Amino acid sequence: MRKRNDGAKVKKSDIEQYLRLLNDELCSISVKGEVCLYGGAVMCLAFDARPATKDVDAVFQPTREVREAIARVAAKNGLPHDWINDAVKGFLVPHEQHLLLDLPCLKVFVPTADYLLAMKALAARVDATDKVDVRFLIKKLELASPGEVFRVVEKYYPHSRIKPATQFFIEELFES
């Protein structure tokens, strides 16, 4: 397995491999874990929308045991210690999840396309990757106008949390 440097992108096949290694680590300590992926990892694994991502955003449980297993996978494979990180947890609201991988000691879930669109739109990061992801999700969901996108965002997030930057970001996508 190739070693990665900080800042390098991790490919779909590598994410799958590391998740299987995480499963093995959890099995070695007789722990059943759950991970729900977000962001670029979902775009790679669930939607096959791009070949790689810079990191794996997720929430997981049981938190301590999974975090320790993540650290062991990182140490054994030359990965950054935060190759899976839970920084996304502050942005989450209740949403539906679907099972992506059902391994003996690890279940991996992903959110629906509309929830991921709402998260990415709310973030309103105008980097090239997020623009491509949001365009992909808009097309996948067959949304035809900024208003339709805003209805999806407001399904999950109150209007008061939607920044003006989000509105400009979405409107700009439909202008180009």
For the chain, what percent of residues have pLDDT higher than 90? 73
Distance separating alpha carbons of residues 136 and 50, to the nearest angstrom:
10
What is the pLDDT averaged over residues 13-33? 97
Dump pLDDT digits (tens) for 51-66: 999 889 999 999 999 9
Q: Which residue has the tokens 């008061």?
A: 160
Dump pLDDT digits (tens) for 30-40: 999 999 999 99
Residue 95 CA: distances (Å) to CA of 18, 113, 114, 118, 156? 25, 11, 10, 11, 8
Q: Confidence band (pLDDT; 50, 70, 90) for 7?
A: low
> Two tokens at 40?
């670029």
* pLDDT at residue 4 in the model: 41
* pLDDT at residue 5 in the model: 44
Position 21 pLDDT exceeds 70: yes
One-letter amino acid of 91: F
* pLDDT at residue 90 in the model: 87
| Count of residues in the chain | 176
Residue 164 CA: distances (Å) to CA of 90, 143, 155? 20, 20, 17
Query: What is the pTM assigned to this prediction?
Result: 0.90
Dump pLDDT digits (tens) for 101-153: 999 999 999 999 999 999 999 887 767 678 899 999 999 999 999 999 999 99
